[in-house]
Chain A
């Protein structure tokens, strides 16, 4: 059992509050992605759970037990750092074997060799096992760093933007691989990212952080379809949600200040006429940049659309999201 519970956890760095009375429950075996801009407190959350830093207040429980007094080693967590943190003087093989060579584990050498080979296979670094850790490309280093967490099968994985430095193809491969590993191991995984595809495809739950507070926690679909605020709505969705004055189309509920329109909230071909400013053909989709009463709107259309810059296109909202003056969602 590795349910992770944060209860009113706070952490300050000088005057800045990195985490402010944060509470969150991560179910055993869940794959939770933390989303938020830089400085929202995502990495701090991971570091506090790992035990690399101590909270100023609150409690952290892993598997139902408070771990505040435990060292990182005692918490049985593996962490993948954003900046790799490989042991530069060791070979890839020794880097991967490092967690297994812990005297407390007493892993037999044959077992170590087998596990290292297995993980190297999964991460496509078998041919680099004898290289020095510093003689690798950024992507390879990050894979070694992920591998170092995987060899040990701890009760909890913490990953701090592990795929951010990889190229698109490798990222897609590893996304699938991580998801598969998570499914087969059934361990709890906390994952920090900026990438919405990673959040949407891998997470069982997404936690959205804003200035050290957890503002919404739910399945990716919940977060996407019913965000509690404009801030949360802006975290997910490509292109980003269009935030426009509520009165632009009429029919806004009382108290609405802003209307939030995702591409699927915009019906084309009826309603008010907007000017097509730019057409971006991305192959599988076409992105339209529109202007209506001086407001920019980005939406999607059919990949074979023959719209061109300067054309006029009628648009109307459909099941739009409305937000009040402070950015909270109106139901």
Chain B
């Protein structure tokens, strides 16, 4: 039989390697491919998690690595859960979470609904609306601090123009009652487009013929909205809420840039508070327990939510 190019290539491989490669089972090759990922996952996710849980039962301080480490049992957890200051940051986080989700869902869905009506320049407006989402949170935080400036800020100017109040009479970032709303407004401004895009995908997935059938079945626009549009977009909307909820629960960059947690600790969300405990006060053990509590909270809430989401999808 004449020697083919394939045969030549095969015989050119040194026998040692050929035998070694041939000696590997499919399973071994599979492991070979998966191993680097598993190693990285263990090294930078699983191991730190376990280590954090271990540290949470100690009084370890990262800035005094040579000091004696004492096993304190559940004391860190007890102290955190009975600390009114921490409950206050939890409250601030809950406030931030609730109102950002509320406004983003409301405005995001309304925008998606309008864009879906396909007017002439709808593509142009989609692009404009989506822009804030593409910016870096640091940039957004920075320029909103300018907008919120009582003397020169555009935001204060517009509010003053509309309401007739003195623009320097209030400071969104500096006033205790206003600061929590200042961060809600910026996050809503930045992330509503994301919710809008997901809602838009949901709206576009509803075939036109279903509305036509409903039209013939004498359903009013109002009834079509509540019996067709809402139920069929709901799974998409819930997914958007899940993404935004998890993101906002650990919100850090935007708020640090905007208010730094102030005034006082009115906008000190849990992640900012946690960072203070861990890397300013260096109470590593205590902060670890704090992190574990937050982790369990997010994980628990997300699991319950995903179950609900699946139920909605099955309906």
Of the stretches A76-84, A223-231, A278-286, the one at the interface is A76-84
A85 touches B209 (CB 8 A): yes
Give, as a whole number of angstroms, the nearest-CB distance from B223 to chain A.
Answer: 7
B232:A81 contact, CB within 8 angstroms: no
Residues in A with CB closer than 8 Å to B215 are: 51-52, 71-73
Tell me whether B218 and A73 are in contact (CB under 8 A).
yes
- How many residues of A are counted as interface, with CB atoms below 8 angstroms from the partner's CB atoms? 25
Q: Tell whether, in the assembled complex, residue A98 and residue B217 are in contact, meaning their CB atoms are under 8 Å apart.
A: yes
**Complex formed: what's the CA distance from A102 to B216 in Å?**
11
Q: Which residue of B lies closest to A77 (CB)?
A: B216
Q: Determine if B220 and A89 form an interchain contact, defined as CB atoms under 8 angstroms apart.
A: no
Q: Is A239 an interface residue, CB under 8 A from the partner?
A: no
Pair A87/B228 contact, Cβ less than 8 Å: yes
Contact of B216 among A78, A104, A105 (CB under 8 A): A78
B64 interfacial contact with A, CB 8 Å: no
Q: Is A262 an interface residue (CB 8 A)?
A: no
Tell me if B217 and A99 are in contact (CB < 8 A).
Answer: yes
Point out the residues of chain A lying under 8 angstroms from B228, CB to CB.
87
* Chain A residues within 8 Å of B231, by CB: 89
**Chain B residue nearest in CB terms to A145:** B213
Complex Cα–Cα for A125 and B69 (A): 72
Interface size on B, residues (CB 8 A): 18
Q: How far is the CA of A88 from the CA of B217 in the complex (A)?
A: 15
Question: B264-315: which have CB < 8 Å to A?
Answer: 315
Which chain B positions have C-beta within 8 A of A78?
216-217
A89 to chain B, nearest CB (A): 5
Q: Across the two chains, which residue of chain B brings its CB closest to A82? A: B209
Q: Point out which of B210, B215, B217 has the most chain A C-beta atoms below 10 A from its C-beta.
A: B217
> Contacting A89 at CB < 8 Å: which of B214, B216, B217, B315?
B315
Interfacial chain A residues near B213, Cβ < 8 Å: 79, 81, 85-87, 148
What per-residue 1/0 map shows which CB atoms of B202-233 lie under 8 Å from chain A? 00000101101111111110010001100110
* CB-CB under 8 A for A81 and B217, given A87-B228, A89-B315, A103-B223: no
Contact status A81-B315, CB under 8 Å: no
Task: Establish whether residues A102 and B212, one from each chain, have CB atoms under 8 Å apart when the complex forms.
Answer: no
Interface members, chain A 53-102 (any B CB < 8 Å): 71-73, 77-79, 81, 83, 85-89, 98-99, 102
Establish whether residues B210 and A104, one from each chain, have CB atoms under 8 Å apart when the complex forms.
no
Which listed residue (B207, B209, B219, B315) contacts A102, Cβ 8 A?
Answer: B219
User: Which residues of A are interface residues toward B (Cβ below 8 A)?
Assistant: 50-52, 71-73, 77-79, 81, 83, 85-89, 98-99, 102-105, 132, 148, 152
11 A-B pairs within 8 Å (CB atoms) are namely A51-B215, A52-B215, A52-B216, A73-B216, A73-B218, A78-B216, A98-B219, A103-B220, A103-B223, A104-B218, A132-B315
